[in-house]
Structure 1
Amino acid sequence: MELKLILVLLLLLLAVGATADYVRPPPRKTLSFPWSKKPSSLPQQVHISLAGDKHMRIMWVTNDKNSPSIVEYGKSPNNYSFSSEGESTRYSYLLYSSGKIHHAVIGPLEDDTTYFYRCGGEGPEFQLKTPPSQFPITFAVAGDLGQTGWTKSTLDHIDQCKYDVHMLPGDLSYADYIQRRWDTFGELVQPLASARPWMVTQGNHEKEHIPFLEDSFVSYNSRWKMPYEESASSSNLYYSFEVAGVHVIMLGSYTDYDEYSDQYAWLKADLSKVDRKRTPWLIVLFHVPWYNSNEAHQGEGDNMKTAMEPLLYAAGVDIVFAGHVHAYERSSRVYNGKSDPCGAVHITIGDGGNREGLARKYKEPKPEWSVFREASFGHGELKIVNSTHAFWSWHRNDDDEPVRSDQFWITSLFGSSCCAENGPELRKMLLEP
């Protein structure tokens, strides 16, 4: 037992040392979550995600090991016409034992419709809204959230946004081995995450690996199950989903990604299934940015970029979102280190509110592909208006107001000469063994 605690302390010290290479401004304090006694069967930490065509996965935690994994739901309050029984899991991590973590898939659901639901046969009623089946559709985007005053500000601003799906490119709770922080993060995001689907991928703060003692991502995988099985992936660390004319690919920066890896093979297979006539927009998310002019985390995404960027380029990916760097940056369409009209727009948005603060130091001179960069907390909104045009805006919240600091229109590569020119190249790459 003592050996476990010593190893944890050493790892925490190493983590602190790893963030001391660049100076960040003083962060806001970590939020306080006073303990209060709750009924053991009360559903807590409720959040939802897309789970295949016209289905949603509802996830929640109870302290009662006998609580059923049942969701009742319907289209009017307190009137549940349908029910679905799911499954549950638990995990232990050093001295911590989780509550009973429930997963239940509901559906088929009608598009653009409000449903009322109850978890476990009791407790409060929640409501969710399903995404539309066609354009327009709006995504909220914010990474590296954590649990600070800035996090609360960012979540409040996202709540003001009329969005359909939240996308988070890694670093959720900043639990960093302290498992109780996963529980408080679930409490913090429940008001938003129980009402709109949250689609997430892992970051370095989800890894929580202790050699010889604890496997990587056990907490993340237990609590945030994404539709990896529905998208023919063998790992919860990478998957894809489709919604309203958009194909979204969530990749893992912290699992193997070279050309011999399972993730690389899955990505090739997933791209081969994309029908741009049905989903004219192609978006990718992962944690570590490939294009980054901040001094923080320089070069960390280079190996993944070398392995996978040719695939994304050939497929005509429109936008790539990343986190990790605690600042905001938007590129022009870029490929292989320079502006390219057939490349993707890369957006780093690791500024959700983490406890480590902002990364203020940028490299000079600014690379020619870097269009806008600013070290401020905030969130982004992507409104895809139709099959060809989308409007992106980034909202700075340093002044506790969702100030729109960057905005631009983007035209999809679908139907452009880029897709026509890259078509044979993509087919060749996907057919290669």
Structure 2
Amino acid sequence: MRKLCLCIFLTISLFPQLLRAKEDDFVRQPPRRVIFTRHLRSDSDPQQVHISLVGKDHMKVSWVTDKKHCKSVVEYGKESGKYTAKATGDHTSYKYFFYSSGKIHHVTIGPLEPSTTYFYRCGGSDPEFSFRTPPSKLPLDFVVAGDLGQTEWTNTTLDHIQSIDYDVLILPGDLSYADTHQPLWDSFGRIVEPYASRRPWMVTEGNHEIEIFPIIYPTGFKAYNARWPMPYQESGSTSNLYYSFEVAGTHVIMLGSYAEFDADSEQYKWLQADLAKIDRKKTPWVVALLHAPWYNTNTAHQGEGESMRLAMEELLYRARVDLVFQGHVHAYERFTRVYNNEADPCGPVYITIGDGGNREGLALSFEDPASPLSLYREPSFGHGRLKMVNETHAFWGWHRNDDSNFVVKDQVWLQSLSSSKTCSRSVNQKVTSPTGNDEL
């Protein structure tokens, strides 16, 4: 009798997911448990090591030590154990109610040579780490992963990411899912260290980074800004919540969904100035990231990015931005080239990729019938890969997590808008096209 009841319960529980399964009979996976990764090194040893790009030939190395006297210094060189250069930096720490962070170190090293492996250690202590700098010219390989969290699904996604080499990881918000429980920031740093210490991770904020508490912490982002400072000053920004960087012929814009964005805001004025500086002859590709989607046919988070879209979409369109990656919705979706809710061959391709492995589970429900603008959508965990092949073409693929394996479920070739004769015409001319297709 118990076995019969269990079978009935499982059938009822899984039935909605079975209904949503695609023709390949893949059953949507449920959430998996949160993993808390403990600190197993000494109090003076570096932990939570991660790196980020600074300018065209520098790298920022960030880490945490429990002891406060440890020096903010990085030794590095091209051979293991032989450190021919050294740089010093600064440090910070913060308190959040009864939690006190360790000493958070940030050191910028360089100049560095492109496509070169460097070995380094932090604070004069082992262990030794290594990273490879990105190339100075195309081709270039990005990994895109959003809403990562720290669950068993997160580990699966990270293992899949590492199984194929890449140059830079970009993340459109929602990192640790600490949500004011500060030890989870430490745990997240330990989970991603084996990956983020080897390749640069460039991130922007999501709603789970806000961590506002009225009166006491009214501005939010206390932990995020202390732990994950990005090169915002180098791009002329006044806030760590939005910035840009360039790597190998690609200009990447990291927008802040949770910073002011109307026409009178600092972010809007910064974006105008940043886009105006791009030389598409030298930088043929422009990619943007943000958290709350501007285009979305999932029933989750409907309309949350609409006011930002109305404020900023025209700026991206006039600049001929090629792709926009979005997070927040825990599913995958790819749109055709779009502008102002219509298919437009000179608009960006919008891709929702908030499926890294978060603890909240998948957003299973999509609007029915599907919009003709939406070319592929699926509620599954996974990550994406964007290969900038040359000045005119790139290849995008979305890799779905199938337990211990990944399966490429969506892929498309993209042409840079800077190489399109149609889109190089005056932006004041309205460009029309048929409904969306996979020739982008």
Shift of 1:34: 4.3
Q: Could you say which residue in structure 2 is the equivalent of 1:289?
A: 293
* Aligned partner (choices 355, 361, 365) of residue 357 of structure 1: 361
Choose the corresponding residue for 1:48, options 17, 31, 51. 51
- How far apart, in 2, do the equivalents of 1:251 and 1:161 lie? 28
1:278-317: CA deviations, max 9, x gaps? 1100000010111100000000010000000000000000
Q: In structure 1, which of residues 208, 233, 237 is the aligned counterpart of residue 237 of structure 2?
A: 233
The CA distance in 1 between the partners of 2:141 and 2:237, in whole Å, is 26
Residue of structure 1 aligned with 2:255, choices 251, 257, 276: 251
Structure 1 gap ranges (5+): 1-22, 426-433
Matched to 2:318, the amino acid is A
* Residue pair 1:134, 1:244 contacting (<8 A) in 2 also: yes
Counterparts of 1:4-403 in structure 2 under 5 Å?
26-34=30-38, 36=40, 38-214=41-217, 215-403=219-407
User: In the superposition, relative to structure 1, how do residues 387 and 310 fare at CA in structure 2: closer, same or farther (>3 Å)?
Assistant: same
AA aligned opposite 2:182: Q
Alpha-carbon separation, structure 2, partners of 1:209 and 1:365: 38
Distance 1:67 1:344, change over 3 A: same
C-alpha contact (below 8 Å) 1:315/1:422 kept by paired residues: no
Task: Give me the whole-angstrom Cα distance separating, in 2, the residues matched to 1:316 and 1:384.
Answer: 16
Shift of 1:40: 1.6
Shift of 1:423: 5.2
Is 1:315–1:419's contact at 8 Å kept on the other side of the alignment? no
Distance across 2 between alignment mates of 1:172 and 1:422: 39
- Amino acid aligned to 2:298: N
Query: Residue 182 of structure 1 aligns to a residue in which SS?
Result: helix
After superposition, the C-alpha distances for 1:119-143 in whole angstroms (9 at most, x for unaligned) are 0011200000000011110000000
TM-score by length of 1: 0.91
The Cα of 1:422 is off from its aligned counterpart by 3.8
8 Å contact kept, 1:338–1:368: no
Paired residue type of 1:40: D
Contact kept in structure 1, 2:36 and 2:184, CA below 8 Å: no
1:17 corresponds to: none
Amino acid at match of 2:263: E
Instruction: Tell me the amino acid that sits aligned with residue 212 of structure 2.
Output: H
| TM-score where L is the length of structure 2 | 0.90
Q: What displacement does 1:35 show?
A: 5.5
Unaligned 5+ residue runs, structure 2?
1-19, 21-27, 430-440
Percent of residue pairs bearing the same amino acid type: 60
What amino acid is the match of 2:169?
Answer: H
- Following TM superposition, by how much is the alpha carbon of 1:107 offset from its aligned partner in structure 2, in angstroms? 0.4
Task: Give, in angstroms, the shift of residue 161 of structure 1.
Answer: 1.9
Counterpart of 2:417 in 1: which secondary structure?
coil
SS of residue matched to 2:375: strand
Per the TM alignment, residue 262 of structure 1 is displaced from its structure 2 partner at its CA by 0.1
How far apart are 1:419 and its partner, in Å? 4.0
SS in 1 for 2:233: coil
Q: Secondary structure at the match of 1:397?
A: strand
d(CA) in 1 for partners of 2:31, 2:39: 24
In the other structure, the counterpart of 1:404 is 408
Q: Deviations over 1:353-407 (max 9, x none)?
A: 0000000000011111100000000000001100000000000003331100000
Instruction: Name the aligned partner's letter for residue 319 of structure 2.
Output: A
